Amino acid sequence: EAQVTQNPRYLITVTGKKLTVTCSQNMNHEYMSWYRQDPGLGLRQIYYSMNVEVTDKGDVPEGYKVSRKEKRNFPLILESPSPNQTSLYFCASSLSVTGMGGYTFGSGTRLTVV
C-alpha cells in the first residue's frame, strides 16, 4: 500500500532531550516536507526537500533539523525541544516538487514537550 509512515504517533518528552521523528515513504516520491499543526494557525511548513541531499527551510524552521540521505526517508530532528514545540506534526510527500497528484500525508505525530 502506498503510504507515508511516521513514527512515533504519540510522544511525550522533557525539555532539552533530543528526539527524532521518522518519516518514510514507499512511493519513490521526490518531494518531502514537514509541517506542524497548531490550533488556529493551520499547517505551517517547517522544512522541505526536493530530492536527496537537497533541503530548504519553510516558514517555521527554528529549533528543527532535517536530513535527506535516502529518497524514502526524511527524519525531523529536535536537538533541544522546548514546550513551544508541542504540536501535531505531519510529514508529506509528492511525486514532484509541484505537488503533482497531491501531497500524501502521514498519520501525524502528536508531540508534547514538558
Partner 1 sequence: AQKVTQAQTEISVVEKEDVTLDCVYETRDTTYYLFWYKQPPSGELVFLIRRNSFDEQNEISGRYSWNFQKSTSSFNFTITASQVVDSAVYFCALSEGSSGGYQKVTFGTGTKLQVIP
The residues that touch partner 1, with contacts defined as CB under 8 A, are 31, 33, 35, 40-45, 48, 50, 56, 58-59, 88, 90, 92, 97-105, 107-108
Query: Whole-number minimum distance, CB 58 to partner 1, in Å?
Result: 6
Beta strands 109-113 and 10-13 are: parallel
**Could you tell me the three cell numbers for 101?**
497528484
What CA–CA distance (Å, rounded) separates 96 from 32? 9
C-alpha cell read off for 62:
527554528
Nearer to partner 1, 14 or 100 (CB): 100
Residue with smaller CB distance to partner 1, 15 or 67: 67
